Structure 1
Amino acid sequence: MTNNEGPAGPGGRRILAIWLPDYAIDRWRLEMGAAGRALDAGPLVLIADTAHGPRIEAVNRAGTAAGARRGMMLADARTLCPDIATAPSDPAGDLGFLEKLAIWAQRWGPWAALDPPDGLLVDITSVPHLFGGEAKLLADVRTAFAARQLAIRTAIAPTAGAAWALAHYGPEGAIVTGDVERALGGLPVAALRLDDDVVIVLRHLGLKRLGEISTIGRDAIQRRFRNRKSPAANPLIRMDQLLGRVPEPLLPVVPQAMPLVQRRLMEPIRHRQLLDQVVGDLARDMARDLEGRGKGARRLELGMWRVDGEVVIRRLELAAATRDPAHICRLFSARLDDIDAGFGIEMLRLRASWAEPLALEQNDIEAAAENHGTSLAACIDRLTVRLGPDAVSRPVPFASHIPERAQRWQQPLAPEPASQGELAFHSRPLKILDKAEKIAVLYATPDGYPQRFRWRGRVHEVARVEGPERIAPEWWRERGSARLRDYYRIEDGSGRRYWIYRLGIIGDGRGGAPDWYLQGLCA
């Protein structure tokens, strides 16, 4: 291993690995601005909800010093640091920002690939001489990321596996130009990008360093891992990829040019009528651009540059792809009422940041419905503009026997998720409470039918009972101590019907006396 740049050799490949060890925290801090920097000064974790409670997905340096670790439950971290701050993690946002970084990183090579969740791989073959050598290229990388306030570790090697190993476990800015196997022999076996259980097996076998793997015959290791087909589960495959004996496919991030139209005005405009006219012209230009691409817009961004330099942005997210200028103008019209033109607006730009394939001709039935104002997509778009992007959604079935998990909410016109298997449900009440409410029940015997119950301060005499319907807990989501549920449909003396359940059975060894809950109201 050396820190001196050198030739890669004739046709030699050079890969730059960029690892962002604090990526999720750094992105969150940048997105939150001053408030994020203030919170990041103390212990901070990003969390995700799980069946067992909030779990830590990322930790800042102060949180690490306090004892918090990635993968730890938040309740355990609070026992070590009660005043630790929390914020929700955003894996989708992290991935989207990483894709933008990959496109931006093409300044150092012809293509860049994602190394999720927190890394990039850039092909810099035949490029370093443009920067004065590989060492100066790495210096430029560090300077550029420092300007973006992102912490990184970098390395350059002939293969993606070797570059990744050095970036994660080698010295910062390491450059390998010679014998890769010899240069990386002192790194831990975790540098092979293996699953955690495989790393544990190798350590139990006494293999702790990469150089120790070559001391054992390939046949012995192959017999131990012969059923492991995934590269992350087979150390021989990973070793061959690291040394360049077998190719490792990488998928470059290909930037897509988003449709964009703009108007630079000869004179700044201040009046709403002129603004609507320019927006209409932009909408027609956008429609022609989208039609030429065979696409329709799902998300539109209208930027307005004022004379004083301020930029005003208005965004729309549509329920279905469209390129109808009249529909776009109607939606933006409701978003421009509060625009302050100041001394005037001198430039407008309309960009479709999300576009989907759309046939060149709209369906006749849908077009007719649009003309009469009854199109479902148009109706949803208008409601979304008026009420907000999160105010309109629809429930879709979800494969779960647990009643409160049997549906989920999604965008109104988004396709339903693939079925996870047909579940034969019993009929359910017309109304299910958002959260089951605890009730007090009197029954003749410990495991008999309910005779009387108290709910919301009133006592109800049970006249008729139907049940029980037994529902077992979902063992793959809940703890082993989760209890069975026995559901009953009951009718009181006034004819009102309820859906209640008993949580647990006496003597099941999973707690004390069973509890009773009311979860639904029947017709």
Structure 2
Amino acid sequence: MDVCERGGPAPRSRPTRRILAIWFARLSVDRWRLAHGSDSAKCNPGEGADALPTVLITETAHGPRIDAANRAGHTAGARAGMMLADARTLCPDIQTAPADPAGDLDFLEKLALWSQRWGPWSAIDQPDGVLVDISGAAHLFGGEKRLLDDVETAFAKRSLYSRAAIAPTAGAAWALAHFGPAKAILGPRDDALQCLSDLPVSALRLDQDVLTVLRRLGLKRLGDLVSIATGPADRAEAAARDALHRRFRNRKSPSANPLVRLDQLMGRVPEPLLPIVPQHAPMVQRRLMEPIRHRSLLDKVLHDLADDMVRQLEARGEGARRLELGLWRVDGEVLVRRLELAAATREAAHMTRLFADRLEDIEAGFGIETVRLRASWAEPLDLSQGDVEQAAERHGTSLNACIDRLTVRLGPHAVRRPVPHASHLPERAQTWQPPLEPERSSQPMLEFHERPLKILDKPESIAVLYSSPDGLPQRFRWRGNVCEVSRVEGPERIAPEWWREKSTVRLRDYYRIEDSEGRRYWIYRHGIAGDGRGGMPNWYLQGLYS
């Protein structure tokens, strides 16, 4: 049904902007049900995954929290945001399954791409909605009413519950899809203030704390907020309007400012939307006339696929960073081997050389009938490379090729390089990252005074003889050996990182020490006597000088 049907048709010379909002009210549960419905149906045939009360949970510091519930769980009293322990008091037999926000977002992205059948572009409305620009496209479906019917039918066939609405702005379409009547349409010349005045203030897409403030002020409907923000300027309403402006004028985020959201809903302030663009991963495959069982034939097919992949990547101006090789056997089993490269590449010989080590354990069975190579991750790569690097690639001596071969042989996390990290604590002064990635830290590196080249992974406790609790060390025992101190330099005091550590963490006093045999050590006293943060100080050895 329409919300309002006033005014004539929009001018045909310039189509008025029309936004289709689709709300998947049970996105997480519908996705889980489609993935596990067959297993749940075995427990209660004929009713599917909604037969048993089931909730999707997320582990928190206070215990499992419910993110979504199916129909039976909702009937039993489970609600989103409720702790699982509270839900079990209402329904002891409730079933649980882990929530998957990343999987839900990926599923929503696919739905947004598929929704472009109704308009030229679409955008994701997190966490469970899609916005489609249908300006000038509704007549292809016989009008906006029939378009909404097609939306409902299309998602119903896929067992997805959805609500849809059409309006001139994204804010108005979202409000109608969530709080308006089913298949609502707000015409281009309809009075939005009058048509949407009965909707709750939650229709403005505001944060929960802002909604709480508005309810405490007695603003429960959009009409109440509109009357204050744009109403007649008598004394009471003018004072209320000024108070509302003062309270929210410093809120920069639209979701924290009801006045900005109201202007976006009315079309007075533009609301930027980020269209989702489909990314087609380069893929090549071979469907073999006869299944193959020998490794030599598989290597030949892989070499041909690598050449085809290089041609596709070159045409797109990209290089592969992650490659997936799929092998379909005659018995239906699929074998997948993946590679992640240190840098983007378009060298066919390099690809086949890396996959050679990954195909040693392949069992062909009755034969392999389909081979597919896919670049699931590609990056821009110039069409021309330097002569030195090209020659190195041909001879197999390139740094990128060497790192890739080491990674394939030793594992994805075995090849790393140390990089400095902006921290004055010795154990945090460096970090590890992939060998060819640029250094991530944008902070200036700290300069230290004569740090040792060798620092132990974990400081080792030592027993120290000193003249006073805060005096210089004279003798210490380390790994069963007693070392006589002949020279001492220090102390160098290092305070803990107050923004990360507790206030009870003790100071460190570092000493550079040389024993009677010429060996040099880097030790520190953990704590100061009488600092109120523990007992007597402890001593540790953390580094060795060459």
TM-score range, shorter chain: 0.7 to 0.9
The residue that corresponds to 2:222 in the other structure is 210
The 1:109–1:332 alpha-carbon spacing in structure 2 relative to 1, beyond 3 Å, is same
Asked whether the 8 Å contact 2:529–2:537 carries over to 1, the reply is no
The separation in 1 between residues aligned to 2:169 and 2:175, in whole angstroms, is: 10
Query: In the TM superposition, what are the counterparts of 1:370-449 in structure 2 within 5 Å?
Result: 370-435=393-458
The 1:255–1:86 alpha-carbon spacing in structure 2 relative to 1, beyond 3 Å, is closer
Q: CA deviation at 1:352?
A: 1.7
Q: CA deviation at 1:121?
A: 2.3
The one of 507, 520, 523 aligned to 1:485: 507
The 1:256–1:466 alpha-carbon spacing in structure 2 relative to 1, beyond 3 Å, is same
The residue that corresponds to 2:497 in the other structure is 473
Does residue 332 of the first structure (1) align with residue 355 of the second (2)? yes
The residue that corresponds to 1:248 in the other structure is 271
Amino acid corresponding to residue 470 of structure 1 in structure 2? I
The separation in 2 between residues aligned to 1:55 and 1:433, in whole angstroms, is: 38
The separation in 2 between residues aligned to 1:295 and 1:517, in whole angstroms, is: 55
The separation in 2 between residues aligned to 1:403 and 1:324, in whole angstroms, is: 42
Q: CA deviation at 1:284?
A: 1.1
Asked whether the 8 Å contact 1:460–1:493 carries over to 2, the reply is yes
**3-state SS of the aligned residue for 2:379?**
strand
**3-state SS of the aligned residue for 2:227?**
coil
**3-state SS of the aligned residue for 1:263?**
strand
The 1:343–1:240 alpha-carbon spacing in structure 2 relative to 1, beyond 3 Å, is same
The residue that corresponds to 2:521 in the other structure is 497
Q: CA deviation at 1:250?
A: 0.9
The separation in 1 between residues aligned to 2:36 and 2:520, in whole angstroms, is: 51
> What's the RMSD between the two structures over aligned residues?
4.9
Does residue 286 of the first structure (1) align with residue 296 of the second (2)? no
Q: CA deviation at 1:378?
A: 0.5
The 1:314–1:504 alpha-carbon spacing in structure 2 relative to 1, beyond 3 Å, is farther
The separation in 2 between residues aligned to 1:448 and 1:35, in whole angstroms, is: 71
The 1:108–1:462 alpha-carbon spacing in structure 2 relative to 1, beyond 3 Å, is farther
Q: CA deviation at 1:327?
A: 0.8
Q: CA deviation at 1:386?
A: 1.9
Q: CA deviation at 1:248?
A: 1.2
Q: CA deviation at 1:350?
A: 1.8
Q: CA deviation at 1:193?
A: 3.3
Q: CA deviation at 1:290?
A: 1.7
Does residue 15 of the first structure (1) align with residue 19 of the second (2)? yes
Asked whether the 8 Å contact 1:192–1:242 carries over to 2, the reply is yes
Does residue 175 of the first structure (1) align with residue 184 of the second (2)? yes
* Residues 403-462 of structure 1 deviation map (CA, whole Å, 9 limit, x = unaligned): 444333332222222513454445544344445566777766565556677777888776
**3-state SS of the aligned residue for 2:358?**
coil
The separation in 2 between residues aligned to 1:437 and 1:20, in whole angstroms, is: 57
The one of 134, 150, 153 aligned to 1:140: 153
* Residues 280-316 of structure 1 deviation map (CA, whole Å, 9 limit, x = unaligned): 1111111122222222111122222223333322222
Asked whether the 8 Å contact 1:3–1:135 carries over to 2, the reply is no
Q: CA deviation at 1:167?
A: 5.3
Mean alpha-carbon deviation: is it higher for 513-522 or for 227-236? 513-522
The residue that corresponds to 2:387 in the other structure is 364
The separation in 2 between residues aligned to 1:131 and 1:359, in whole angstroms, is: 46
Mean alpha-carbon deviation: is it higher for 378-387 or for 409-418? 409-418
Amino acid corresponding to residue 160 of structure 1 in structure 2? A
The separation in 2 between residues aligned to 1:452 and 1:85, in whole angstroms, is: 61
Mean alpha-carbon deviation: is it higher for 337-346 or for 118-127? 118-127
Q: CA deviation at 1:197?
A: 5.7
Mean alpha-carbon deviation: is it higher for 297-306 or for 389-398? 389-398
Q: CA deviation at 1:364?
A: 1.4
The separation in 2 between residues aligned to 1:451 and 1:58, in whole angstroms, is: 61
Does residue 317 of the first structure (1) align with residue 325 of the second (2)? no
Q: CA deviation at 1:69?
A: 5.1
Q: Mark the runs of 5 or more structure 1 residues left unpaired by the alignment.
A: 75-80
Mean alpha-carbon deviation: is it higher for 365-374 or for 268-277? 365-374
Q: CA deviation at 1:120?
A: 3.0
Q: CA deviation at 1:20?
A: 5.9
* Residues 175-230 of structure 1 deviation map (CA, whole Å, 9 limit, x = unaligned): 35365444544555454334566555545554444332223246624444444444
Asked whether the 8 Å contact 2:326–2:371 carries over to 1, the reply is yes
Amino acid corresponding to residue 500 of structure 1 in structure 2? Y
The 1:2–1:68 alpha-carbon spacing in structure 2 relative to 1, beyond 3 Å, is closer
The 1:459–1:411 alpha-carbon spacing in structure 2 relative to 1, beyond 3 Å, is same
The separation in 2 between residues aligned to 1:467 and 1:208, in whole angstroms, is: 65
Asked whether the 8 Å contact 1:297–1:356 carries over to 2, the reply is yes
The separation in 2 between residues aligned to 1:259 and 1:321, in whole angstroms, is: 14
Query: In the TM superposition, what are the counterparts of 1:79-228 in structure 2 within 5 Å?
Result: 98-125=108-135, 126-127=137-138, 129=142, 133=146, 135-140=148-153, 142-143=155-156, 146=159, 156-165=166-175, 170=179, 175-177=184-186, 179-195=191-207, 198-199=210-211, 202=214, 205-217=217-229, 220=242, 221-228=244-251
The separation in 2 between residues aligned to 1:67 and 1:374, in whole angstroms, is: 60
**3-state SS of the aligned residue for 2:171?**
helix
Asked whether the 8 Å contact 2:284–2:374 carries over to 1, the reply is yes
The 1:311–1:67 alpha-carbon spacing in structure 2 relative to 1, beyond 3 Å, is closer
Q: Mark the runs of 5 or more structure 2 residues left unpaired by the alignment.
A: 44-51, 85-91, 231-240
Query: In the TM superposition, what are the counterparts of 1:29-108 in structure 2 within 5 Å?
Result: 45-46=57-58, 59=67, 61=69, 98-108=108-118
The 1:87–1:521 alpha-carbon spacing in structure 2 relative to 1, beyond 3 Å, is farther
Asked whether the 8 Å contact 1:46–1:59 carries over to 2, the reply is yes
The 1:469–1:244 alpha-carbon spacing in structure 2 relative to 1, beyond 3 Å, is same
Q: CA deviation at 1:234?
A: 3.1
The 1:411–1:184 alpha-carbon spacing in structure 2 relative to 1, beyond 3 Å, is farther
The residue that corresponds to 1:77 in the other structure is none
Q: CA deviation at 1:467?
A: 1.8
How many residue pairs match? The answer is: 503
Amino acid corresponding to residue 522 of structure 1 in structure 2? L
The separation in 1 between residues aligned to 2:450 and 2:30, in whole angstroms, is: 49
The separation in 2 between residues aligned to 1:57 and 1:395, in whole angstroms, is: 39
The percent identity for this pair of structures is 55
**3-state SS of the aligned residue for 1:334?**
helix
The 1:115–1:343 alpha-carbon spacing in structure 2 relative to 1, beyond 3 Å, is same
The 1:336–1:57 alpha-carbon spacing in structure 2 relative to 1, beyond 3 Å, is farther
Asked whether the 8 Å contact 1:131–1:137 carries over to 2, the reply is no
Asked whether the 8 Å contact 1:443–1:452 carries over to 2, the reply is yes
